[in-house]
Amino acid sequence: MDGLVRNLLDAFKERLEQNEWMDAATREQALLKLSTFEPRIGYPTKYTDYSTLAISPDNLFENALALAEFGWADQIKELGKPVDRERWGYPPQTVNASYNPLLNQITFPAGILQPPFFDPAADPAVNYGAIGAVIGHEIGHGFDDQGREFDEKGRIRNWWSDASNAAFKVKTDKFGAQYDAYEPLPGAHISGQLTMGENIGDLGGLQMAYAAYHRYLDQTSGGKAPVIDGLTGDQRFFLAWAQVWQGKYRDDELRQRLETDPHSPPYFRINGPVRNLDAWYDAFGVTAEDDLYLPPEERVRIW
């Protein structure tokens, strides 16, 4: 995981350095922000002490109240003290990952470090396409439509020049329009605006992870990936991304999420970003005959 995170950060740094739509001053600020990213992997350095919390095996309601009170007291005791950067907002067994713009930290708890996201014994193409793209997604939150308003110290400060700001907006408007057009249920569309930050995270994450995977191949095997089960490295990379977002909702749940969830439905988290990556077209021989085909000029590349 340390190696994966390092390669993702290096890949993003390289992409920022080669970025053509940011001016030099904004690019410098973006690189500064990236340099202060703090990854937290697996478990906290300091655990929450639950010894004062009384839990009984036969009273769910009292337990819920006791836990709420414990959580409240745990937060109140931090009041008036300096910010504790070692605190975790959730326990390490959680299957999730997060970015905190106020602290510029990305967190990957132990719970997500298992298949289908991560397996130390798995083919690297799969790890880069799965947890690699999730790492990239969280890094991307530092530079999405909301995260980009925070600077390298977590302060809300506009470090964007007007020109770079306008260029970012042109790209994200075009990208958001792709999602507005998706109709997961008859008459119910994704909101490109509501899901913007998460979609930017997915697109940037996949782009960063793809670049990182190829950095890894360059470092270890002269850029070549083996064919496994008849699949090329790039094919396995994209299939791994699809595997982590397998999911199923009842129509009512899906309809509610389209109104309230800042994430696009899983099916669109897979297909939405990939059709913007040239490498995906090459990997599977996708042509204008295919449903997900986008002409090159309509593909959005932010990072």
Catalytic residues: 138, 202
Q: Residues 118, 112: contact at Cβ < 8 Å?
A: yes
205 binds Zn ion (CB under 5 A): no
Distance in Å, CB of 205 to Zn ion, minimum: 9
Query: What type of residue sits at position 241?
Result: W
**Beta carbon nearer to Zn ion, 123 or 198:** 198
140 binds Zn ion (CB under 5 A): no
Query: Residue 239: which H helix or E strand, with range?
Result: helix 233-244
**Beta carbon nearer to Zn ion, 204 or 233:** 204
CA-to-CA dists, residue 258 to 153, 180, 192, 253, 274, angstroms? 33, 11, 10, 9, 21
Distance in Å, CB of 201 to Zn ion, minimum: 5
User: Which of these segments, 81-89, 193-201, 232-240, 247-255, binds Zn ion (CB under 5 A)?
Assistant: 193-201
Distance in Å, CB of 221 to Zn ion, minimum: 32
Distance in Å, CB of 141 to Zn ion, minimum: 6
Query: What type of residue sits at position 137?
Result: H
> What is the largest distance, in Å, between two alpha-carbon atoms of the chain?
63
101 binds Zn ion (CB under 5 A): no
Interface pick for Zn ion out of 140, 147, 201, 233 (rule CB under 5 A) = 201
**Beta carbon nearer to Zn ion, 136 or 201:** 201
Residues 6 or more apart whose CB falls under 8 angstroms from that of 96 comprise: 90, 109, 111, 112
Q: Which residue has the tokens 């740094």?
A: 13
In the complex, the residues that contact Zn ion under the rule CB under 5 A are: 198, 201
